């Protein structure tokens, strides 16, 4: 199954036995909702059961790394997709939050030895975010890529970590 944006999938993956956590920020709600929906849609295409998709929310993107760690502990999931959307403003806030969140999510994978899918948009404009959430007509929803990535990472690597 090819997924636009991800390239050609290198195998056939069955997510029917996978538990997936999605933790999302509440900022930029229209964009976040579309991305979460896209991830769920793709997870279901890979046979992840609805009862095995656990969704939680946090106030903002800065809280995603801690909440991601808690998702593994609280819900015993195989993979977490933290979803957030940062849009550059007129201060350095954007740069600090982007750096902190991305660094901590990457680091977390190696601390807990389970995959964390980077589902945080870091956009220079609101229009870029709308495009990546497929709210702008004719665009691709990156949440779908994250859902497919979650299934592939668990199916391909579980047992090796």
Catalytic residue among 24, 75, 93, 142: 93
CA pair distance 52, 17, nearest whole angstrom: 8
Helix (H) or strand (E) holding 102: helix 93-112
Show the tokens assigned to 145: 């890529």
- Asked if 93 is an active-site residue, the reply is yes
Contacts of 91 (CB under 8 A, 6+ apart): none
CA pair distance 64, 69, nearest whole angstrom: 9
The alpha carbon torsion through 88, 126, 33, 28 (nearest 10 deg) reads: 50
Instruction: Please give the positions annotated as active site.
Output: 93
């Amino acid at each position: 199954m090819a997924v636009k944006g991800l390239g050609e999938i290198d195998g056939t993956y069955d997510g029917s036995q996978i538990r997936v956590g999605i933790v999302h920020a509440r900022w930029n709600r229209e964009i976040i909702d579309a991305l979460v929906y896209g991830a769920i849609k793709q997870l279901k295409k890979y046979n992840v059961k609805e009862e095995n998709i656990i969704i939680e929310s946090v106030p903002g993107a800065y809280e995603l790394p801690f909440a991601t760690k808690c998702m593994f502990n609280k819900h015993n999931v195989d993979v977490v997709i933290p979803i957030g959307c940062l849009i550059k403003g007129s201060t350095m806030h954007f740069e600090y939050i982007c750096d902190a969140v991305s660094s901590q999510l990457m680091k977390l994978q190696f601390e807990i030895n389970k995959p964390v899918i980077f589902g945080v948009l870091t956009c220079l404009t609101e229009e870029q975010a709308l495009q990546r959430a497929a709210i702008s007509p004719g665009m691709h929803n990156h949440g779908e890529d994250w859902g497919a990535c979650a299934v592939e990472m668990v199916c391909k690597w579980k047992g090796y970590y």
